[in-house]
Amino acid sequence: MIISTAILPGSHPSNNPAGNHISHAFLVHFKPSFHTVRVLTRDPSSAVAQALAAQGAQLRLFDSAREGLDLARSLDEALDGVDVVVNALPGKTSDQVKRAVVEAAARSRARVYILDEYGLDHRIAAVPGHEHPGWLEKGRVSIETRERLKGRKVIALYATLFLEFAITPQMGIDVAKNTYTCYGSPTQPFSTTAMEDIGRAVARLSILALDPSTAPTVLDEVRIAGTTTTTYAEIRDVVARVRGVPGAEIEVRDVGELKEEIRESGPGEKAFYEYMKVVIGEGKVDFSAGNVNELVNPGGKLWKWKTVEEHVRGLLA
């Protein structure tokens, strides 16, 4: 099957490159399935964008903040003739731009649309009545998009935290200092997936959803658990092994107290990391069952999922 896809945006010069990893998967790992991969970026001349072009990407200038931009026209040109639209725009994207993307997808011939999710399954409640505004917004956009794109395949891929965001001081895991703080039990399992594996999963879901013989296997909302499944204690042990230091004590805090702090602080005052600590501590993001790992990567034969140890070794290299 010959597939044409557009990734918005697919290039990214910073250290937070969800779209870049997705582009890479389409252009490199699943290249034979995609004859056209169109990548939208604010700067086609950047080194990252040029590296993607060298891999075969068609680059399209797209900067929603550019003065005088004809948003609808620019998006229509970008999505012209594509089968799949992958939305990897930042969460802070304005409502106007978010809606314009969906409208352009509706005008296009795209049959598959990947929502700008890739994070927590926001059907999970962290602090009922006091959820993070970003997650409420994703839920609203998801409903509106499905309504507007009725009859097409609209997929939400939920991954909880990227591995690269899970093993960070913000999550109470400081690999360099060998210090750990968690909420709830340190042996509570939680799922996480590396960005490169998210990219591959998005490409595979696109391929499966477009093929009539496999399309029914792809549900509208799917969970992934690439690095299935770790715990604070395991990460501490991995760091100890890799660094050759003793396993550090893990400071254990009370999830209930953190929830109370979130309730008291008001909407959006606490970073999304704090909400993630709650859902991890309460065991709500163990996706080791009911995920699409096997669907996208049967028997791990298409690629090897990145492990916690590989990531930790990379951090310490």
Q: Which of 59, 157, 161, 175 binds ligand NAP (CB under 6 A)?
A: 161
- Residue 7 in contact with ligand NAP, rule: CB under 6 A: no
> Cα 134 vs. chain centroid, distance in angstroms?
14
Q: Which of 62, 180, 232, 275 binds ligand NAP (CB under 6 A)?
A: 62
Give the nearest distance from C-beta 15 to ligand NAP in angstroms: 9
- Residue 64 in contact with ligand NAP, rule: CB under 6 A: yes
Give the nearest distance from C-beta 64 to ligand NAP in angstroms: 4
Q: How far lies 40's CA from each of 10, 63, 74, 296, in Å?
A: 6, 9, 10, 25
Span from 12-20, 100-108, 176-184, 208-216 in contact with ligand NAP (CB under 6 A): 12-20
> Cα 52 vs. chain centroid, distance in angstroms?
19
- Residue 19 in contact with ligand NAP, rule: CB under 6 A: yes
Tell the burial category of 248 from Cβ atoms under 10 Å away from its Cβ (0-12, 13-18, 19+).
Answer: middle
Name the residue nearer to ligand NAP (CB basis): 96 or 214: 96
Helix, strand, coil abundance in the chain, percent, nearest 5 = 45, 15, 40
Span from 85-93, 102-110, 171-179, 262-270 in contact with ligand NAP (CB under 6 A): 85-93
Give the nearest distance from C-beta 214 to ligand NAP in angstroms: 25
Q: Which of 5, 6, 7, 12 binds ligand NAP (CB under 6 A)?
A: 12
State the number of binding residues for ligand NAP (CB under 6 A).
Answer: 26
Helical pair 133-148 and 272-281, crossing angle rounded to 10 deg: 90
Asked if residue 189 lies in contact with residue 230, where contact means CB atoms within 8 angstroms, the answer is yes
- Residue 85 in contact with ligand NAP, rule: CB under 6 A: no
Q: How far lies 84's CA from each of 114, 217, 249, in Å?
A: 8, 17, 47
Q: Alpha helix (H) ranges present in 116-171?
A: 133-148, 163-166
- Residue 283 in contact with ligand NAP, rule: CB under 6 A: no
Residues 86-145 binding ligand NAP (CB under 6 A) are: 88-91, 116-119
Backbone angles phi, psi at 76, to 5 degrees: -60, -40
Q: Which of 29, 33, 144, 165 binds ligand NAP (CB under 6 A)?
A: 165
Residue 68: count other Cβ atoms within 10 Å of its Cβ.
Answer: 4
- Residue 42 in contact with ligand NAP, rule: CB under 6 A: yes
| β-bridge pairing 173-174 and 161-162 | unpaired
Give the nearest distance from C-beta 152 to ligand NAP in angstroms: 19
Q: Which of 1, 63, 263, 316 binds ligand NAP (CB under 6 A)?
A: 63
- What gap in Å lies between CA 29 and CA 51, rounded to an integer? 15
Asked if residue 285 lies in contact with residue 120, where contact means CB atoms within 8 angstroms, the answer is yes
Name the residue nearer to ligand NAP (CB basis): 88 or 308: 88
- Residue 230 in contact with ligand NAP, rule: CB under 6 A: no
Asked if residue 52 lies in contact with residue 10, where contact means CB atoms within 8 angstroms, the answer is yes
Q: Which of 6, 9, 202, 308 binds ligand NAP (CB under 6 A)?
A: 9
What does the binding site for ligand NAP look like in residue numbers (CB under 6 A)?
Answer: 9, 11-13, 16, 18-19, 41-43, 62-65, 88-91, 116-119, 159, 161-162, 165
